[in-house]
Amino acid sequence: MLCIRPRAPLGLPFLLLLTGCADPGRIEPDWASLNLTRFPAVTQASLRGIAAWNEDVVWASGSAGTYLRTTDAGNTWSTGQVPGLEERELRDIHLFGPDQAMVLVVGSPAELWRTENAGKEWRLVHRDADPGMFMDSMDFWPNGRGLCFGDPVGDSFTIWVSDTTGNTWTPVPSPAIPPPHPNEAGFAASGTLVRCLPGGRALVATGGGAARVLETNDYGVSWQIYDTPMAQGGTATGSFSIGVNQAGGAVLVGGDYTAPQTRPGSAAYSEDGGRHWEPSETPQPGYRSCVQAVPNSPPDTWLAVGKGGFSRTADGGRTWTEMALPGHYTMSFAPYRGGPFVVAYLAGAAGSLARLEIPCAR
């Protein structure tokens, strides 16, 4: 049974969780007892970026240079605009600490801005004024190095990599990157198009004229590329989000943004870490813009969200189950620190923000 509250005191445990989780290891989520808290909108900005530092501190970013921050699990949100970016889109956000954030500005000029003091001050970290520039997504390796991916300029994808501080960014030379197919690009839909993994490995998903997966194993120095069975060939088709786990499983979600109920080509899975892909079994979920692994759960457990709703899989993306939850654009799980449930924060259109609690199965 799903409980949806417009707003509720988060300090009150709900009845089904009184026993907590007895098993200290990974536990199957109790999907029948979800608790969704929807917060009153404090902005009308379209929110495409969200990042949870922990269950209390969460940042979001979006249109009109808007950023939001809560330090009390969503009970209250502060909001602001990065000075000078009031007409720009902040499509991705990454946290270095509870008060330290970096936002990605899409379009031209493509920019990265950073704050060290919870948004009181912002500084420009990197800028590329090429008129064709459009960066889509960024992620960081455990050692602090970063990777930012963007649409092709000329005959090459745009990829920036950083040093371990995230303050100095360098473009990867075009000859190191496999060339794009005609009209192949990325989608700045949820900030989850890039996944950085330990040891210098990273995966990047593409769409449009082709839907493929780029891979590096040396922090972006060299790249390989793999085909996928995702929808492709249209201006709004392809992979919109990629997930990969340490067990070697990987999933893609996306589809056709202009026809979100179209199911074929909206999900795929890999059993070798993203090199070979198979289409998910029918029915596929339809358009989804973000996929995330569910913390403290078996490694094949994933949750996907899009403007049309939610879907989940417990078998690494082979099969998907729809869920009776309202759609959002993007999602971030708080790191699991123990307790009766895992927590995801959601962001979407017109400033929508929510908190989803997923309890352990009893």
Structure confidence by residue, pLDDT tens digits, 99-130: 999 999 999 999 999 999 999 999 999 999 99
- 21-359 sits in which CATH class? mainly beta
pLDDT(49) > 80:
yes
Assign residue 162 a region (left: φ > 0; alpha: ψ between -120 and 50; beta: otherwise).
beta
What is the pLDDT, as a whole number, of residue 36?
Answer: 98
Of residues 197 and 21, more confidence is placed in 197
Do residues 164 and 64 lie in contact, with contact meaning Cβ atoms separated by under 8 Å? no
Percentage of the chain beyond pLDDT 70 is: 93
* Burial label, 12 (beta-carbon count in 10 A; 0-12, 13-18, 19+): exposed
Q: What is the pLDDT of residue 6?
A: 55
What are the residues whose beta carbons fall under 8 Å from the beta carbon of 199, sequence distance 6 or more?
217
The mean pLDDT value for 310-317 works out to: 97
Stretch 190-196: mean pLDDT: 98
- Mean of pLDDT values over 171-180: 98
For the chain, what's the residue count?
362
b (16+ CB within 10 A) / e for 183-218: ebbbbbbbbbbbbbbeebbbbbbbbbbbbbbbbbee
pLDDT in tens, 9-18: 333 333 233 3
Residue extents of the structural domains in the chain: 21-359
Angle, CA of 306, 6 and 35, to the nearest 5°: 65
Q: Which parts of the chain fold into alpha helices (H)? A: none
- What does the alpha-carbon distance between residue 311 and residue 317 come to, in Å, rounded to a whole number? 10
Mean pLDDT of 235-250: 95
Q: 8 vs 293, which has greater pLDDT?
A: 293
| Stronger pLDDT, 19 or 304, i.e. the higher one | 304
10-19, 63-72, 174-183: which range is least confident on average?
Answer: 10-19
User: Do residues 224 and 214 make contact, with C-beta atoms less than 8 angstroms apart?
Assistant: yes
What does the block give as tokens for 160? 């920036």
- Provide the terminal-to-terminal Cα distance of the chain, rounded to the nearest Å: 14
**CA dist 267 to 127, 144, 179, 304, Å?**
34, 30, 24, 10
pLDDT at 95 over 70: yes
Mean pLDDT score, 274-292:
97
27: pLDDT confidence band, cut at 50, 70 and 90?
confident
